A = this chain, B = another copy of it.
Amino acid sequence: MVIVMEPGATEEQIQKIIDALTRKGFDAHRSTGATRTVIGAVGADAGILDPRDFQLMGGVREVLRITEPWKLAGRIFRPEGSVIAATSARGARVAFGGPEVVVMAGPCAVESEDQIGSVAASVRRAGARVLRGGAFKPRTSPYSFQGLGEQGLKLLRAAADAQEMLVISEVMDASQIDVASKYVDILQVGARNMQNFTFLRELGKATLPVLLKRGLSATLEEWLLSAEYIMSSGNHAVILCERGIRTFERYTRNTMDISAIPVIHRLSHLPIAADPSHGTGLRDKVAPMARAAVAAGADALLIEVHNDPDNALSDGAQSLQPGQFAELMAQLKGILPAVGRRLA
């Protein structure tokens, strides 16, 4: 942290700042220029100082943070990048963050054995390796369909095993981690839970990889700090997932921040996936945005596919039909070599 004093700051004011820093356990490094004094705070935990604590002290013009606030999630912790493997009990395996781009696909919500079996078969045929499907559904309205719960997880697991796929599904609460861990291979955390800190700590004790979606208005810094919560509690297998942020645009449900992909790759060693289904909210925008995400360097895709979108119990409007998904996979195969990647 750098504290820039006003040109007319008094010696007493400067000393008060230095004392406050010292009291909080930092070395204060003072440099006196022709017109103003600048004080640097140096210490192992400089990242956790709140700049605002100094902003209103006498004689202070501005306070600037100079270190990133994370430790384990930062690129510097593992400059070569992390490769995070997920495996199923039956031996299916994918790796996120390596040369292969992993495609996860399936319906928004598990609705029935027929539905999930049919979708699993078609997305597997087209090249998806991980089956997605919601059993616990976070819905904005208490009156919307809330998912089949554990029964949905069972159907999801059976459908994935029949296709030698892995399973990803959302958990909404610490109380669901144990039951979900019996059936899924990757735990998904939704955008609205990105800063549910109690929950993040519990996920840090889980043994499965966690896919952490970005909050609707989260900055990249907050997102990485949420990953830090999970990692600092013991679980380093975190996959980030961009799913659109809120802007004032009304033609799309969210604005998918494709630039988050290269920026996260520079700030962090963690792999990053993209969810163009939630990112746009409209079926005919999913394919262009999936292509864009891969072209920008995404390590994985999470895509909603439904065998009968018009009658889906939730989010049918943003689900691809199986034929549209197969067509998209063919386009992706054309783009991947240009960015030095291949399909998992």
Contact = CB atoms under 8 A, between A and B. Distances in A.
A113 interface: no
Contacts of A56: 282-284, 317
A33 B54 CA distance: 21
Given A257-B247, A258-B256, A66 B57 contact: no
A336 to B, nearest CB: 9
Interface in A294-333: 294-297, 310-312, 314-318, 331-332
A90 interface: no
A246 to B, nearest CB: 5
Contacts of A53: 310, 312, 316-317
Nearest to A201: B142
How many identical chains are in the complex?
4
A136 to B, nearest CB: 8
A335 B292 CA distance: 10
Contacts of A294: 295
A2 B1 CA distance: 11
A232 B142 CA distance: 8
B139 A339 contact: no
A236 B233 CA distance: 37
Contacts of A291: 295-296, 338-339
Interface of A: 2, 4, 20, 23, 27, 29, 31, 33-35, 38, 40, 42, 45, 47-48, 50, 52-57, 61-62, 64, 66, 69-71, 138-144, 172-175, 192-193, 195-199, 201, 216-217, 219-222, 225, 228-229, 232-233, 245-253, 255-263, 266-267, 279-285, 288-289, 291-297, 310-312, 314-318, 331-332, 334-335, 337-339
